[in-house]
């Protein structure tokens, strides 16, 4: 397969594959169930519906570990003509009986390319983490190339906001101000300002789906975005079938979050030297609360690093989510995590410069924390 040199070539490669889709084809879309993956799924669904008059069959999953025999068998039962995978680091060989594409933006290694299922990632030509766009941005660009009349920049902007790429993708937010000026009444387009606008609520609404109701909730979020594509006001006010359900999820999440943030103030460990807040999450009934809380703590304490631990993630496993505000901190969380992995092999995961999530053995939590704080104190050595 020809090596890609820039984002334009990557988008053209995707468009060439999409052009092969016919109206009689059955399409399956496997996507990450977070905001970037769900907004990408909504945008791609709109594109396909305009192109062939039908929507893809959605398979939201919470991580690459769910690309397993159960998922493969579910896909086989659908007997699709194409399988598209968005926002997941999947090896094409794991889907070797299907054709389509994999569009990702995470750090990857050891990927085996297949002509009929290419793995496409801007990191193959872009070395700087802060220059790598989220999948929602790329999907929006493709949709806009096919159907420029669709005024759906507001949907792409939600995924971009989650992945802390507002500064990189300002063109989308400029488009939002043009198409839906009531959504972005801000003078400066930057991450902090956007999160304080309607987009903070949009972001929370979309991710409330998976947090309250798992993969079915993620589907609800995608369907809500699709049915409200021309009316973001209906989306945020819950005035359609699926957005109404999603709004109830959001209200439940908001109540739970307020209780958790009160506990952070009471029980959080505020390390002034490192400016790190360590908080051990208690038992909650919602999925993904660890990463959600880390974001909320970051927003409340923007000059601090938010470090949230969930010691009940699974059997003898823990999850740690870490966030920082790029505007106020210059640490690179991905580099820090990679350093720790060299000393603690059980650590799995990664993310972006300002947002990472890892899973590790319960007995390694103390050692991880010690290494992390040491690297923060000595960041110049990284």
Quote the number of domains for the chain.
2
| pTM exceeds cut of 0.85 | yes
d(CA 231, CA 118): 35
Is there a single domain that holds both residue 154 and residue 24? yes
d(CA 370, CA 276): 12
Share of the chain above pLDDT 90, in %: 80
- Report pLDDT for 381: 44
d(CA 240, CA 207): 18
Is there a single domain that holds both residue 184 and residue 317? no
User: Which structure tokens are listed for 19?
Assistant: 């052009």
Domain of 327, CATH number, reads: 3.10.310.40
Beta bridge partners of 305: 276
**For 154, phi and psi rounded to 5 degrees?**
-60, -30
Domain stop point among 147, 170, 195:
195
Do the beta carbons of residue 85 and residue 102 sit within 8 Å? Answer: yes
- What sign for the dihedral angle of Cα 36, 293, 314, 338? positive
Domain for residue 216, yes or no? Answer: no
Do the beta carbons of residue 153 and residue 172 sit within 8 Å? Answer: yes
- Report pLDDT for 295: 93
Q: What count of residues does the chain have?
A: 382
Of all residues in the chain, what percent are helix, strand and coil, respectively (each to 5)? 50, 15, 35
- Report pLDDT for 138: 98
Low-confidence ranges of the chain (pLDDT < 50): 380-382
Domain stop point among 138, 166, 195:
195
- Report pLDDT for 380: 43
Centre a 10 Å sphere on the Cβ of residue 96 and count the other Cβ atoms it contains: 13
Centre a 10 Å sphere on the Cβ of residue 26 and count the other Cβ atoms it contains: 13
Domain stop point among 139, 170, 195:
195
């Amino acid at each position: 397969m020809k090596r890609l040199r820039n984002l334009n070539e990557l988008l053209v490669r995707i468009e060439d594959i999409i052009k092969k889709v016919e109206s009689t084809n059955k399409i399956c879309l496997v996507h990450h169930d977070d905001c970037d993956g769900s907004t990408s799924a909504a945008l791609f669904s709109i594109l396909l519906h305009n192109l062939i008059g039908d929507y893809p069959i959605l398979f939201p999953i919470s991580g690459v570990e769910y690309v397993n025999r159960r998922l493969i068998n579910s896909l086989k039962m659908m007997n699709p003509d194409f399988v598209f995978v968005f926002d997941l680091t999947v090896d094409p060989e794991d889907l070797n009986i299907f054709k389509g594409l994999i569009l990702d933006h995470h750090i990857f290694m050891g990927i085996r390319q297949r002509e009929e299922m290419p793995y496409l990632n801007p990191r193959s030509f872009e070395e700087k983490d802060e220059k790598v766009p989220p999948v929602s941005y790329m999907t929006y660009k493709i949709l806009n190339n096919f159907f420029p009349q669709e005024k759906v920049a507001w949907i792409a902007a939600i995924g971009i906001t989650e992945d802390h790429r507002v500064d990189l993708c300002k063109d989308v937010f400029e488009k939002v101000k043009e198409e839906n000026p009531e959504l972005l009444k801000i003078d400066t387009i930057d991450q902090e300002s956007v999160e304080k606008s309607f987009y903070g609520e949009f972001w929370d609404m979309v991710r409330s789906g998976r947090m309250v109701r798992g993969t079915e909730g993620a589907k609800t979020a995608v369907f809500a975005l699709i049915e409200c594509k021309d009316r973001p006001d209906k989306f945020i006010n819950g005035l359609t079938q699926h957005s109404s359900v999603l709004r109830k999820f959001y209200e439940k999440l908001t109540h739970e979050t307020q209780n958790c943030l009160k506990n952070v103030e009471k029980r959080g460990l505020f390390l002034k030297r490192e400016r790190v807040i360590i908080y051990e999450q208690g038992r909650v009934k919602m999925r993904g609360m660890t990463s959600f809380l880390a974001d909320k703590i970051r927003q409340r304490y923007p000059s601090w690093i938010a470090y949230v631990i969930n010691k009940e993630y699974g059997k003898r496993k823990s999850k740690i989510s870490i966030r920082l505000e790029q505007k106020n901190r210059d640490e690179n969380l991905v580099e820090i995590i990679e350093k720790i992995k060299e000393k603690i092999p059980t650590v799995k995961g990664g993310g972006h410069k300002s947002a990472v999530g890892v899973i590790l053995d319960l007995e390694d939590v103390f050692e991880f924390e010690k290494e992390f704080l040491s690297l923060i104190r000595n960041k110049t050595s990284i």
